[in-house]
Amino acid sequence: MNASTSCPLCAAARARGPDHLASLDECEIVLGENQGCPGWCVAILRDHVEHMDELTIDRQARVWGDVARVARAIRRVLATNGEGGGPARLNYECLGNVVPHIHWHIVPRHAGEPDLRAPVWLRSPDALRGSLAPEARQHLASRLSEAIRRA
């Protein structure tokens, strides 16, 4: 079995379930499983590559263009709590510590979060997952999908 058949993010990049938001230049965009910060999106590189530096500079730029487009959409959809519209802050993270397949977390941090200055990964699994109801999750996914198309 090669990496692309056993890798959960390769499977996620191929899936077209209700959490799939958009297909951009290099990445498939999904609403994250974790919604402890509502609007949390993940940009998954379409093919299995472990490290950003393995991509050409042009591809790295296109990946970043995809991430920036999602960020713009999140700030438009969640224009509530931060100064000037949008969430209080966006966190951009490309870790690969758990699944070694290039993916970017774009995490809106909302005003009023008790730990706004800390990385989200310090939270418990339940706090990361959040409590967004299925209907609210679907509504958020459709708004984000529409906004990404326009971003």
Residues that bind Zn ion (CB under 5 A): 7, 9-10, 48, 101
- The packing angle between helices 134-150 and 57-77, to 10°, is 120
At closest approach, how far in Å is the CB of 11 from Zn ion? 8
Closer to Zn ion by Cβ: residue 7 or 127: 7
At closest approach, how far in Å is the CB of 42 from Zn ion? 13
Give the other-Cβ count within 10 Å of 66's Cβ.
25
Closer to Zn ion by Cβ: residue 28 or 113: 28
At closest approach, how far in Å is the CB of 30 from Zn ion? 14
Using the CB atoms, write b or e for 76-113: b if 16+ within 10 Å. bbbeebbeeebbbebeeeeeeeeeebbbbbbbbbbeeb
The residue nearest Zn ion at its CB is 7
Do the Cβ atoms of 40 and 32 come closer than 8 Å?
yes
Closer to Zn ion by Cβ: residue 48 or 110: 48
Do the Cβ atoms of 32 and 41 come closer than 8 Å?
yes
Task: Report the half-sphere exposure of 149 (CA within 13 A, side-chain side).
Answer: 9
Closer to Zn ion by Cβ: residue 101 or 109: 101
At closest approach, how far in Å is the CB of 45 from Zn ion? 8
Number of residues that make up the chain: 151
